[in-house]
Structure 1
């Protein structure tokens, strides 16, 4: 399959008019294919979703995608991307298995309501360079399961990985007799004008990646689901199993070189176990920098106020060398640690780093730890999630009712758990809504139901008019009529 456009479509950065015309041609093909597909029945939808999933899960194809992703984006770790591509897609298939997504999906005789699942049409899938294969396939599988066509707008760095993925999907479609126009992508070179045109012309936008893209999605005039900024913090309490907590933070902080928005950026430790926890983190390969080393690391990681591409999603050893900390690099650290006491723009380590660098805070007690996290999220990351390592289950609920978070992850490796895992009940997703705290219109993990319309048929039932006293009796008793 040749996914590259020719002629005027690739002649540099498109004008708005040219972008509109190029995208319109893709959307027209997608609509024609989707109109047939949405009426093909549940088996056809399930087959298409399975074909797209197997396109990335098959080991040889998965390895090519993982290697290409790291080679062309320079972000992350190929072995971890291989595992992510497989497990996230397998988990999604588990969530979709047996789900009805077309025709009548529910009947309630008592209410007289029949629910009918309907496709949304053509989905614009905006995807990031950090997961240039796993995120597109998640959106493609969800879209197909619900009878939609999908057009992917990859990041420029992730273009090659996405193109290869769609080539693999089309090969599976040929075997299954499916129309390749159901899954397309923007032609190279990827431009903001083309991405914006796609958002305007499609029926639904699902945007994951930079906050600029998310804001563009919400402003496109098309219904959109976008996600908030990551900047996860985890709390370690005095009742935690410190060794277990440290090992799970290690797994989360280092997986794919911390490309995930769900990787901890900060850990807040109760004072009673502060030094023992630092010792456990050191035993896991974490290296705590002194004040001078922290200053040099800060200068390397932020250039003119922006994260440096030389440190983003690189290994801790590479980052240490970029910062001129050769003595640290020679220790082959798994991750770097810096101590911090504040949050906000004057404390850049309190923000998202997309790197295996962990900011460490000391808190007097659990309530103080929650206050530290609240301050961090007031700066960045509100709505996403928080990790908790504790033997007191009630503390998780306390965080859930008091902090601006959509998920509380208890005694787990956060970046592996928050998007769904086989040992928790969250749905598998690579797009986590952050609610109104994160300026999002949803607070769950983006799943197949977000890719559906639902029509409700209302039949007449026996009239049931309540007595006002049954509903207002308590109010009347307390305050009178």
Structure 2
């Protein structure tokens, strides 16, 4: 990693100092002011003309995804987050437990460093800014170099709303261009909390910065289609998730594991949804194009399936204007790169004799990449869904839903709206929830005296003594 110059180090320190001064005034301004700040940041990205401009700018400057889906993502995620935050108390007394004599007080953290990816250069910063402000914090965003211009425009819009509301613009800042790892590392060390979304190198840097950090794990979602699934319904949801924003989401399916009795019907259903199944020769050509020297090539990242096929020299496939490409796979690991995350509308398809083998295949995939994130399942009852949640190294089991739409919160499920999914210790993370406002606050506990109650030892160990004796 390059070392920051003295000037760059000083510039970051000055930003943090301004943010800290603004935050100290802001955190004690009361819930109404915190709510107003969060709403101002939300409206900055939600207003349709601004939303459209940010979506188009993101695609123009990063070359990733498509503007229509980014517009939709911004428009759904932000009101979803505001729904989650509506009426939530995030400052002062938030809970009382009379029996235990505990009073809980929500406290701000301070200055948050928000590390954000090029795949979502507006939506992810907005989500983190809103959560941080709701809890009385200031935030400094470190965008990806490609996403810098989009993030800068977003923060300009936030400042315009702040001016109307009489709020201090130093509460929301961004590292100045050119963005580099040295400046980002300096910000991480000087702030009070790091929330990191994006590459695993950024997440590791956050965890080793010396500052408390929340970082996300690698995506590589697999979905299981059981013999009881409706092939057409499952294919519609998988196709939507696989193609949304050209598969920029870490929650987009990378593999689908299909039980044998439904395998052929499911393949046909996927083809009806615009999937193109490649033969062995076509698969080899696609693999050679997508991976160079064992590394995923940026030439295929978040591009249309038709463009990827053309890049791989598959003119016949490209001429069919497919929505996504499919390759049949049997293995997993570095020698089978299609078993990993592709960040492209390309889907690996596995056949499983029965559900136990499907689980073993998913376990193998996650040993290679993606442990901790999520698994999708179509055609499962509650019992099977719970079994998957018990056996697989995942923080979420998404049942009968379009995975990338559902995992980050949806109006059709109860998960918090977020663009950052914790993957637990399986994914080398320290949390397994969707990143939400709770990660942006401290809790102080007032501890009052209560009547003493000391349990009897025999009562505590009664079950143990009955089972094995004293």
Normalised by the size of structure 2, how large is the TM-score? 0.99
**Which whole-Å CA distance do the structure 2 matches of 1:379 and 1:25 have between them?**
43
Match of 1:306 among 295, 304, 323: 295
Match of 1:352 among 341, 349, 354: 341
The answer as to 2:37 corresponding to 1:39 is no
**Which whole-Å CA distance do the structure 1 matches of 2:5 and 2:297 have between them?**
30
Match of 1:440 among 429, 446, 450: 429
- Deviation per CA, 1:311-351, whole angstroms, max 9, x where unpaired? 00000000001001111000000000000000000000000
Query: Is the Cα contact below 8 Å between 1:124 and 1:153 reproduced in 2?
Result: yes
Query: Is the Cα contact below 8 Å between 1:351 and 1:376 reproduced in 2?
Result: yes
Query: Is the Cα contact below 8 Å between 2:380 and 2:399 reproduced in 1?
Result: no
What is the aligned partner in structure 2 of residue 202 from structure 1? 191
**Which whole-Å CA distance do the structure 2 matches of 1:126 and 1:259 have between them?**
17
What is the aligned partner in structure 2 of residue 3 from structure 1? none
Query: Is the Cα contact below 8 Å between 2:257 and 2:349 reproduced in 1?
Result: yes
What is the aligned partner in structure 2 of residue 176 from structure 1? 165
What is the aligned partner in structure 2 of residue 320 from structure 1? 309
**Which whole-Å CA distance do the structure 1 matches of 2:6 and 2:394 have between them?**
41
What is the aligned partner in structure 2 of residue 82 from structure 1? 71
Query: Is the Cα contact below 8 Å between 2:422 and 2:435 reproduced in 1?
Result: yes
Task: Supply the RMSD in Å over aligned alpha carbons.
Answer: 0.8
What is the aligned partner in structure 2 of residue 282 from structure 1? 271
The answer as to 2:385 corresponding to 1:426 is no
What is the aligned partner in structure 1 of residue 82 from structure 2? 93
The answer as to 2:145 corresponding to 1:156 is yes
Count of paired positions: 469
**Which whole-Å CA distance do the structure 1 matches of 2:467 and 2:233 have between them?**
52
Q: Give the SS at the match of 1:234.
A: strand
The answer as to 2:135 corresponding to 1:139 is no
Match of 2:463 among 457, 471, 474: 474
Deviation at 1:16, TM superposition (A): 4.3
- Deviation per CA, 1:196-232, whole angstroms, max 9, x where unpaired? 0000000000000000000000000000000000000
What is the aligned partner in structure 2 of residue 409 from structure 1? 398
Normalised by the size of structure 1, how large is the TM-score? 0.97
Deviation at 1:393, TM superposition (A): 2.5
- Higher mean displacement: 284-293 or 18-27: 18-27
Query: Is the Cα contact below 8 Å between 2:4 and 2:186 reproduced in 1?
Result: no
What is the aligned partner in structure 1 of residue 228 from structure 2? 239
Query: Is the Cα contact below 8 Å between 2:143 and 2:151 reproduced in 1?
Result: yes
Q: Give the SS at the match of 1:287.
A: strand
Deviation at 1:305, TM superposition (A): 1.6
The answer as to 2:44 corresponding to 1:55 is yes
Query: Is the Cα contact below 8 Å between 1:34 and 1:149 reproduced in 2?
Result: yes
Runs of 4+ residues deviating >6 angstroms: none
What is the aligned partner in structure 1 of residue 7 from structure 2? 18
Match of 2:175 among 186, 192, 195: 186
The answer as to 2:62 corresponding to 1:73 is yes
What is the aligned partner in structure 2 of residue 8 from structure 1? none
The answer as to 2:348 corresponding to 1:363 is no
Deviation at 1:437, TM superposition (A): 0.3
- Higher mean displacement: 388-397 or 74-83: 388-397
Query: Is the Cα contact below 8 Å between 2:372 and 2:394 reproduced in 1?
Result: yes
Deviation at 1:469, TM superposition (A): 1.4
- Deviation per CA, 1:115-156, whole angstroms, max 9, x where unpaired? 000000000000000000000000000000000000000000
**Which whole-Å CA distance do the structure 2 matches of 1:421 and 1:311 have between them?**
28
Deviation at 1:74, TM superposition (A): 0.1
Query: Is the Cα contact below 8 Å between 1:344 and 1:376 reproduced in 2?
Result: yes
Query: Is the Cα contact below 8 Å between 1:263 and 1:415 reproduced in 2?
Result: yes
The answer as to 2:378 corresponding to 1:389 is yes
- Deviation per CA, 1:402-428, whole angstroms, max 9, x where unpaired? 000000000000000001000001110
Q: Give the SS at the match of 2:253.
A: coil
- Unaligned residue ranges in structure 1 (runs of 5+): 1-12
